[in-house]
Amino acid sequence: MLWRDGRQSLRRRLMTTLLVPLMVLLLVNSLITYVGALIYANHVHDKDLINDTLTLVQMMATESPDGRVSSQAQFLLEYEPEGRNYFSVFSTRHGLIAGNPAVRPPSGMSHKGDAPLLYDVQIDKHALRAASVLISDTRDPSDELEVTVAETLRDRHQEARQILLLSIPAQALLIIAAFLLVWFGVRTGLRQLDPLTEQLANREHDLAPIGDAEVPAEILPLTRTIDGLFGRLRSMLALHERFIADAAHQLRTPLAGLSVHAERAQSSSDPETISDALNHIQRLIQRANRTSSQLLALTRAQTIAHEAGDTEPLNLTTVIPELVGLRVHEALAAGIDLGYDGSSMPLWIDGDRHRIQEMLDNLIDNGLRYAGRGSLMTVSLAREGNHICLSVEDNGPGVPPNWIERLGERFFRVPGCQEEGSGLGLAIVQRIAEWHNGSARYMAGSEGGLRVEIMLPVCPASKKNGDA
pLDDT in tens, 178-235: 778 877 777 777 676 777 777 776 776 667 777 666 666 666 777 777 777 777 777 7
Beta strands per DSSP E along 105-195: 117-123, 126-136, 144-152
Best-predicted range by mean pLDDT (1-5, 251-255, 418-422): 251-255
- Whether 380 has a pLDDT exceeding 90, the answer reads yes
Q: Give the pLDDT band of residue 316 (cuts 50, 70, 90).
A: very high
Q: Tell me: do 362 and 388 sit in the same domain.
A: yes
Among 73-77, 156-160, 383-387, 426-430, top mean pLDDT goes to: 383-387
Segment of 127-136, 301-310, 409-418 carrying the highest mean pLDDT: 127-136
Domain CATH number, residue 404? 3.30.565.10
Q: Output the DSSP codes for 14-25.
A: HHHHHHHHHHHH
Q: What percent of the chain has pLDDT over 70?
A: 73
Residue 247: the pLDDT is: 61
- 337 & 296 share domain: no
Mean pLDDT of 365-389: 88
Residues 461 and 349 in one domain: yes
Residue 297: its pLDDT value, please? 65
Name the residue among 284, 292, 287 with its Cα closest to residue 248.
292
Residue 169 lies in a domain: no
Point out the domain boundary residue: 251, 266, 301: 301
Range name among 167-181, 359-373, 402-416 with the lowest pLDDT average? 402-416
Could you tell me the CA-to-CA distances from 341 to 380, 438, 450 in Å, in that order? 5, 21, 17
CB 342 within 8 A of CB 381: yes
* Same domain for 139 and 278: no
Question: Residue 181 has what pLDDT?
Answer: 80
pLDDT score of 465: 47
Residue 190 contacts residue 10 (beta carbons within 8 Å): yes
What is the reported pLDDT for 215? 67
Residue 466: per-residue pLDDT: 44
Residue 191, domain member (yes or no): no
Q: Is the pLDDT of residue 34 over 50?
A: yes
Q: Is residue 200 part of a domain?
A: no
Which range of residues forms the domain containing residue 56? 11-161
Which of 274, 301, 328 is at the close of a domain?
Answer: 301
CATH number, residue 280:
1.10.287.130
Helix runs in 63-153, H state only: 71-78
In a domain, 446, yes or no: yes
* 203 assigned to some structural domain: no
Q: What is the pLDDT of residues 252-304, one digit of tens each?
A: 666 777 787 788 788 888 888 888 878 877 877 776 776 666 666 666 666 65
Same domain, 234 and 114: no
Pick from 145, 161, 177: which residue ends a domain?
161
Do 411 and 278 lie in one domain? The reply is no
Instruction: Compute the distance between CA of residue 371 and CA of residue 327 in angstroms, rounded to an integer.
Output: 15
Domain assignment present for 212:
no
16: domain CATH number is: 3.30.450
Whether 112 and 27 map to the same domain: the answer is yes
pLDDT digits (tens, 9 = 90+) for 46-88: 888 888 888 877 777 665 555 555 555 555 555 554 445 777 8
Separation between Cα atoms, residue 22 and residue 27, nearest integer Å: 9
In a domain, 211, yes or no: no
Residue 2 is predicted with a pLDDT of 43
**Residue 94: predicted pLDDT:** 78
Please indicate, yes or no, whether residues 123 and 20 belong to a single structural domain of this protein.
Answer: yes
Helix axes 353-370, 316-325, angle to 10 degrees: 40
Q: Are residues 128 and 150 in the same domain?
A: yes
Residue 355 belongs to some domain of the structure: yes
- Mean pLDDT taken over the chain: 76
Predicted structure pTM score: 0.44
Average pLDDT of the segment spanning 405-412: 72
**Does residue 297 share a domain with residue 316?**
no
- The helix/strand count (H/E) of the chain reads as 12, 14
323 shares its domain with 435? yes
Per the structure, the count of domains in the chain is 3
Q: Is the dihedral of CA 229, 231, 237, 239 positive or negative?
A: negative
Same domain, 277 and 366: no
